[in-house]
Amino acid sequence: MFYYYSKGLSSSFLRFFYFFINIKLSFYLMKVTIILSKTNKRQYLKTLLILLTLFTSSLLALSNQPFQGGVAVINIGEFEQKPKVFFKAREVKVLQKDGDYVAVIGIAIDEKAGEKHIVAVTKKKKEHIYFDVDAKSYKKEYIKLKTNKRVTLSKTDLQRFQKEKKKTKKILKSFNKNISSNLEFISPLSGRISSTFGKKRYYNGKAKSPHKGTDIAAKRGTPIVASLGGKVVLRKDLFFNGNTIYLDHGEGVITMYSHMQKFAVNDGDDIQKGDVIGYVGTTGRSTGPHLHFGIILNGEAIDPGVFIGDYR
Ligand SMILES: [Zn+2]
């Protein structure tokens, strides 16, 4: 059986930012209304219509239209038991909601736009479910570093980085069935968002890979909390990311916290949402005290703004 994904907001986190966006949009519309009603009535009605169309489509893009670097939330319906769901041969997170199962799929920033499909499997059933991924363009960002140590790597540093990459990649691709979460993330730190997800980065003029998280600037030493409950699966000083913690939330959901000044937890610790796990610093490739916060689903870094909201 084949069917297309078209269901609306199916989980509480989506309803949550739907609510906030609605408030913001209503406010904006009110402002526009006041300005335009003072000038030309026909022009005002036309603009209102265009604005409404734009807002409706942007809401869809944020809430349930998957995009490059975003998340596909797909209601896969009823099954006699919890199905295993695969996207590109990798197992993805499945939630249960009002008798239906919902697959939550991380879309890589470099995933080609267009039609995609997932496969849901139980002992009795196998279904292919189709959905579309929209293209999204991200801005550029130019960063100046004092030295080129973390731009053009020495042989020793390159070897260190490659070793670290092998280790982190393995963790990010893991699928732990013993931990489960509801995906109701909280912000790990309150502060100014100093850089958003997806920006194409140039360090001292040299093109590097895009930014795979949200940067939150705060004073050195400010406590950082766990965005969700989980297990510490990495606690390490990494060449680029500095002092970094990975928390495993099960079923391919991992959060990362980088550039810390110091750690507050140990490898293997079980952590509750909101527990202090470390303190803001500027270790690794960093230009000032901040937290680099990343969310990984099925091995793909996605925009944390989808869950913790740059939109609040
Ligand atoms: Zn960052």
Q: Are 102 and 91 in contact (CB under 8 A)?
A: no
Gap from CA of 67 to ligand 1 centroid (Å): 20
Query: Residue 35 corresponds to which tokens in the numbers above?
Result: 């300005």
Gap from CA of 191 to ligand 1 centroid (Å): 14
Gap from CA of 130 to ligand 1 centroid (Å): 32
Gap from CA of 193 to ligand 1 centroid (Å): 10
pLDDT at 301 (0 to 100): 97
- Which residue among 136, 157, 180 closes a domain? 136
pLDDT at 17 (0 to 100): 44
Residues 108 and 73 in one domain: yes
How large is the angle between the packed helices 12-37 and 41-63, nearest 10 degrees? 170
Q: Are 286 and 259 in contact (CB under 8 A)?
A: yes
Per-residue confidence at 260, pLDDT binned at 50, 70, 90? Answer: very high
Residues 125 and 155 in one domain: no
Q: Are 206 and 151 in contact (CB under 8 A)?
A: yes
The structural domain count of the chain equals 2
- Which residue among 121, 136, 151 closes a domain? 136
Residues 74 and 86 in one domain: yes
Q: Which residue has the higher pLDDT, 56 or 202?
A: 202
Residues 147 and 291 in one domain: yes
Rounded distance between C-alpha atoms, residue 46 and residue 286, angstroms: 47
Per-residue confidence at 38, pLDDT binned at 50, 70, 90? Answer: low
Residues 128 and 217 in one domain: no
Tens digits of residue pLDDT in 145-183: 788 888 888 999 899 999 999 999 999 999 999 999 999
Tens digits of residue pLDDT in 205-252: 887 889 999 999 999 999 999 999 999 999 999 999 999 999 999 999
Residues 226 and 249 in one domain: yes
Gap from CA of 202 to ligand 1 centroid (Å): 13
Residues 110 and 148 in one domain: no
Q: What's the CATH code of the domain at 297?
A: 2.70.70.10
Gap from CA of 52 to ligand 1 centroid (Å): 34
Residues 114 and 148 in one domain: no
Which of 55-59, 194-198, 241-245, 303-307 tops mean pLDDT?
241-245
Residue spans of alpha helices (H) in the chain: 12-37, 41-63, 155-172, 305-308
- Which residue among 74, 108, 136 closes a domain? 136
Gap from CA of 88 to ligand 1 centroid (Å): 27
Residues 147 and 131 in one domain: no
Residues 153 and 284 in one domain: yes
Q: What's the CATH code of the domain at 12?
A: 2.60.40.1590
Tens digits of residue pLDDT in 20-31: 444 445 444 545
Tens digits of residue pLDDT in 127-145: 999 999 999 999 988 888 7
pLDDT at 76 (0 to 100): 92
Ion ligand 1: protein residues whose beta carbon lies under 5 Å: 213, 215, 292
Q: Which of 48-52, 231-235, 273-277 has the lowest mean pLDDT?
A: 48-52
Q: Which of 100-114, 155-169, 203-217, 283-297 has the lowest mean pLDDT?
A: 203-217
Share of the chain above pLDDT 90, in %: 65
Residues 131 and 210 in one domain: no
Residues 84 and 210 in one domain: no
Range of the domain at 271: 140-308
Rounded distance between C-alpha atoms, residue 256 and residue 230, angstroms: 12
